[in-house]
Amino acid sequence: MAIERTFSIIKPDATARNLTGAVNAVIEKAGLRIVAQKRIRMTKEQAETFYAVHKARPFFGELVEFMTSGPVVVQVLEGENAVAKYRDAMGATDPSKAADGTIRKLYAKSIGENSAHGSDAPETAAIEIAQFFSGNEIVG
């Protein structure tokens, strides 16, 4: 199995409750390495670009407002099968459906304010990583 990278966001509901380290503990326990990380305040433009795929969805405005409502921590995670591994570690989008021990089961407040983002495929991971990091900021 090849080493893969995925893109992660610790969302504003989690940073507001000082849970960056707690989320990182789940990430590292899952066998993923944090190879880049920075705390930023997303602009409206960045959030709209990032979630452009959801533009037509009824929750889009609310989603952009939430993602720009406070600091986020953007990350690149590396490991075997990193995309799927991180989706497993995050749990289902709706925290009431997330498995025990997952980030969303442990920490998410609701389906919208659900503490973490993880890329859904290696191709989207590459696009998302490039939106927030330059190559020399990632140290594998």
**39: helix, coil or strand?**
strand
Q: What are phi and psi of 80, to 5 degrees?
A: -65, 130
User: Residues annotated as binding site for ATP?
Assistant: 11, 59, 87, 93, 104, 114
Is position 93 an interface residue for ligand RTP (rule: CB under 6 A)? Answer: yes
* Nearest to ligand RTP of 43, 93 (CB atom): 93
CB of 20 to ligand RTP, least distance (A): 17
Residues pairing with 9 in the sheet:
74, 117
Based on the residue annotation, tell me whether 117 is a catalytic residue of this protein. yes
Cα→Cα distances 124→6, 7, 65, 106, Å: 9, 9, 22, 26
Is position 85 an interface residue for ligand RTP (rule: CB under 6 A)? Answer: no
Residues near ligand RTP (CB under 6 A) are 54, 59, 63, 93, 111-112, 114, 117-118, 120
